[in-house]
Amino acid sequence: MIIVTGGSGFIGSALIWRLNQLGHKDIIVVDKFGKNDKWKNLVNLEYADVFDKDDFGHMVQGDFLKKFEIDTIFHLGAYSSTTKRNFDKLLKNNYEYSKFLCEKALENNIRFIYASSAATYGDGANGYEDDESKLHTLKPLNGYGYSKHMFDLWARKSRILDKIVGLKYFNIYGPNEYHKKDMRSVVNKCFHQIKETGKARLFSSSNPEFADGGQSRDFLYVKDAVNMTLYFWDNKIVSGIYNIGTGEANSFNQLIKPIFKTLEVKENIEYFDMPEILKEKYQYYTKADISKIRSAGYIDKITNITEAVEDYAGNYLNTSDPYLK
């Protein structure tokens, strides 16, 4: 039996989709649904049961984990807004709940694989190398990144990184992110802009080192992200913190070009000033160092950005049923 927290969310539901493809259906979904439509991510999937995140916490206090012979917990659930300033909520969900679940997993000899974030790297001044000995040098730019960083630091201080796996996801995009509203990927937002208006809107650059739309990220397709995640499920002797990215940096201009091609629309990009609240916390460049996961044995090819965006735009966004199935 496998538990996926955040199982109706973006990466969580994609992980369940891939597990289903591999023939696994003994999956417990844990999440906090609220008033959004992320429940729709589950409609095409197969799983054993679903529980509210808070109710699940109480269940874990008892003998639930032993009773159901849980093999692995993929802890992907989190409060993920990078702009909201409610740090109490970030602390409770991303740090305290994660500690609680991790400790329970270790007590019951359960594989614990959790989502950290590339947001822990801040502006990248100290690089993007997933070296656990350098965790203390990182300076996240927002509360979300810091809450994830706090758990990474706690795990290192507790000397349990040789027993668990932390995954620093970079910029993930793809099907099943529709419920994320303002936190949706640029691919998702620009697809709808282009389809409705014939043009895409991107932030202009306030940094002279980057042209408008030239701000660059390590953009990773969600299908590759879940394949990389499942590598650690298949290889239980591998532990520690790992970057989950492509190892390449692409500009936003490069990212959205395949959308115009898919929709057969002439390229037309409008640049606009980013909100003041983002300017001091904005990452102009990220690129995952993925040498560690490669050294650990992950050899699968990662989908290039053009193929990935064309798959997302053409086979999901431009269809009547855009969900993974």
144 is a catalytic site residue: yes
One-letter amino acid at 32 equals K
Alpha helices in 22-107 (DSSP H): 53-61, 64-67, 87-90, 97-107
Residue 213 CA neighbour count, 13 Å, CB half: 16
31 contacts 5 by C-beta, under 8 angstroms:
yes
Q: Is 169 a catalytic residue?
A: no
Q: For residue 45, what are its two tokens?
A: 């999937």
Residue labelled with tokens 């966004």 = 317
Long-range contacts from 151-157, C-beta under 8 angstroms, 24+ separation: 151/94, 151/95, 151/98, 151/99, 151/114, 151/116, 152/116, 152/120, 152/241, 154/95, 154/99, 155/102, 155/241, 156/132
Among the listed residues 97, 114, 128, 144, the single catalytic one is: 144
Q: At what angle do helices 10-21 and 222-234 cross, to 10 degrees?
A: 60
Catalytic site residues? Answer: 144, 180
